[in-house]
Amino acid sequence: MDTRERCLEADRLDPLARLRTEFVLPAGMIYLDGNSLGVLPRRARARTLEVLDGEWGVGLIRSWNTAGWFEMPARLGDKLGRLLGAGVGEVVVTDTTSLNLFKALAAALRIQQASQPRRRVIVSDRDNFPTDLYMAQGLIDFLQQGYRLRLIDAEHPLEQALDDEVAVVSLSHVNYRTGAMHDMARVTALAHRHGALAIWDLAHSAGAVPIDLTGACADFAVGCTYKYLNGGPGAPAFIWVSPRHQDRFWQPLSGWWGHQAPFAMAPDYQPARGIRRFLCGTQPILSLALVECGLDIALEADIAAVRAKSLALTDLFIRLIEARCAAHPLTLITPREHASRGSHVSYRHPEGYAVMQALIARGVIGDYREPEVLRFGITPLYVGHTDVWDAVETLRDILDTRVWDRPEYFRRSAVT
Ligand SMILES: *Cc1c(COP(=O)(O)O)cnc(C)c1O
């Protein structure tokens, strides 16, 4: 049986526990929202001051060369690639996930158009993160060439959606709401068998679950650094292109940073060779420097240990809710099978919004997603077994005492 003592013991034996001290964790708080905004790496303060005072303050314009600013998107991309199963020169850290998805979709459609111009369908998931659908809709409207979006859901599975009209399959590896995870290799192979390219959004998997883009034979991938990678609010995202496509992909946002020779100042756009082509304009150096702080900590951890702990903690969370909150209308919407689960756990509750506000008021930070969904992110680098125990006990108390039923907990903020 699970007890708090056993949780304490498991934390004492946890090989990742030492990494917790690398982060700023406010006292009296259990943070279960690292899948939305990761926590602050302790080393980020010193690095920020170094960039501000030294590289910007003193180095000024010279720092583009002398402090490695110019190379930063690709250098960080190479580091990040180690967490994605990507090779050197295949990833850049740049722009936002939304923008990168636009670029990847445009590039994939262009590749398909060259050899199979009749393919005019983008397949995605009705339950995908909204920006992923919106960016596809925006691109389709912009192109005005009869492209359309075909959405899969429980009644219309991927197997039925694939035919000789499909150009691209664009999916999230881990679903942002339910935490359900696709088998990337299987789905990519299925897309390829039907002549489609596969784009993966790794926003909820990078840094949380083992990823092997090369092994899965994927075509493109994008994702965030401000979630499990602790890069900071609005930190630049990443984009990966398979080496198969590197010199054929077409960048729709053809800015000077993706030019073969940006400082030749030539009047005509000539794309750089390789992944640099996916850059657009001048990069946010301070934010990039912060991305590296979170990334370096993630790289110190063995991803197999991260995954093992993530599954142990999400299992524990599910077991404890079953054992201790059984009297309440909580419905698990996260898959129980390990192979189909990312690193967060979600429940529906009819008063989910108010319950979450009451939890936050008690120092347990998760988040709320429509409809009625309580979401709890498990970030193995800094969350432990005892945190899970204490979070579930707080939730149990809130539900037993109905403290969530207060007017202030029903008031909606702009960001939930
Ligand atoms: C968080 C998330 C995004 C966020 O995109 P931004 O451009 O960074 O706002 C995109 N897609 C998915 C699947 C996400 O989970």
277-321, pLDDT tens digit by residue? 999 999 999 999 999 999 999 999 999 999 999 999 999 999 999
| Separation between Cα atoms, residue 395 and residue 329, nearest integer Å | 12
Q: What is the pLDDT of residue 221?
A: 98
**Res 246: pLDDT:** 86
Find the mean pLDDT for residues 2-9: 98
End-to-end CA distance of the chain: 35
Distances (CA, A) of 222 to 72, 164, 204: 18, 25, 11
Ligand 1 pocket: which of 125, 129, 225 to mutate (most atoms within 8 A of CB) = 129
CA angle, 179 then 181 then 183, to 5°: 180
Given the structure tokens 């524990």, which residue do they identify?
316
176 lines ligand 1 (CB under 6 A): yes
* Cβ of 204 below 6 Å from ligand 1: yes
Given 33, 201, 367, 387, the catalytic residue: 201
pLDDT at 413 over 90: no
**In percent, how much of the chain has pLDDT > 70?**
100
Grade residue 334 by pLDDT with cuts at 50, 70 and 90: very high
98 lines ligand 1 (CB under 6 A): yes
Ligand 1 near 35 CB (within 6 A)? no
- Per annotation, catalytic residue among 129, 278, 376, 409: 129
Average pLDDT over residues 314-334: 97
Please state the atom number of ligand 1 nearest to the C-alpha of residue 98. Answer: 7
pLDDT digit string, tens, across residues 111-154? 999 999 999 999 999 999 999 999 999 999 999 999 999 999 99
Q: How many helices (H) and strands (E) does the chain have?
A: 13, 15
Give 335's pLDDT tier (boundaries 50, 70, 90): very high
pLDDT band at 101 (very low <50, low <70, confident <90, very high): very high
Report the pLDDT value the prediction gives residue 414, as an integer from 0 to 100: 87
| Ligand 1 pocket residue status of 369, Cβ below 6 Å | no
Query: pLDDT by residue (tens digit) across 225-273?
Result: 999 999 999 999 999 999 999 877 789 999 999 999 999 999 999 999 9
Q: Could you tell me the two tokens for 82?
A: 């180690």
pLDDT value, residue 248: 79
CB atoms within 10 A of CB 305: 14
Contact 349, 194 (CB under 8 A): no
Identity at 380, one-letter amino acid code? P
Cβ neighbors of 383 (< 8 A, separation 6 or more) are 30, 31, 32, 34, 313
Residue pLDDT, tens place only, 9-20: 999 999 999 999
How far is 276 from 72, CA to CA, in rounded Å?
Answer: 11
Per-residue tokens: 359 = 């939890």
Is 79 annotated in the active site? no
Report the pLDDT averaged over residues 403-412: 94
pLDDT of residue 68: 97
Length of the chain: 416
Our answer on whether the CB atom of 33 is closer than 6 Å to any ligand 1 atom is: no
Q: What is the mean pLDDT of residues 202-208?
A: 98
CA 228 – ligand 1 centroid, Å:
12
Ligand 1 pocket member 129 (CB < 6 A): yes
Q: How confident is the model at residue 50 (pLDDT cuts 50, 70, 90)?
A: very high
Both tokens of 393, joined, read: 């006990």
The 3-state DSSP class for residue 34 equals coil
Q: How far apart are CA 173 and CA 362, in angstroms?
A: 32
From 37, 95, 98, 199, mutation site for ligand 1 pocket: most ligand atoms within 8 A of C-beta = 98
CB 45 within 8 A of CB 381: no
Instruction: Give me the residue label for tokens 């499990």.
Output: 228
CB atoms inside a 10 Å sphere around CB 343: 28
d(CA 246, CA 90): 8
CA 131, distance to chain mean position in Å, is: 13
Q: DSSP code of 411?
A: P
Catalytic residue list contains 375: yes
User: For atom 14 of ligand 1, which residue has the closest CA?
Assistant: 203
Largest distance between two CA atoms of the chain: 70
Q: State the distance from the centre of ligand 1 to the C-alpha of 13, rounded, in angstroms.
A: 34
Which of 173, 176, 225 for a ligand 1 pocket mutation test, highest count of atoms within 8 Å of Cβ? 176
Residue 271 to residue 328: CA distance in whole angstroms: 58
Ligand 1 pocket, 125 CB below 6 A? no
> How far apart, in whole angstroms, are the C-alpha atoms of residue 353 and residue 345?
16
Give me the pLDDT at residue 249, please. Answer: 76
Q: What is the mean pLDDT of the chain?
A: 97
Which DSSP string corresponds to 217-253?
T-SEEEE-SSSTT---TT---EEEE-TTTTTT---SS
pLDDT at 199 over 80: yes
What φ, ψ does residue 32 adopt, rounded to 5°? -115, 40
Residue nearest to atom 10 of ligand 1 (CA): 97
Q: Give the active site residue among 119, 120, 177, 227.
A: 227
pLDDT of residue 247: 79
Q: Are 47 and 54 in contact (CB under 8 A)?
A: no
| Cis omega (within 30 of 0) for bond into 371 | yes
For this structure, is 42 an active site residue? no
What ranges make up the beta strands (E) of 126-234?
148-152, 166-172, 197-201, 220-223
Confidence of residue 215 (pLDDT cuts 50, 70, 90): very high
* Residue recorded with tokens 């990494």: 19
pLDDT value of residue 284: 98
The answer, yes or no, to whether any atom of ligand 1 lies below 6 A from the CB of 97, is yes
Given a cut of 90, is residue 95 above it in pLDDT? yes
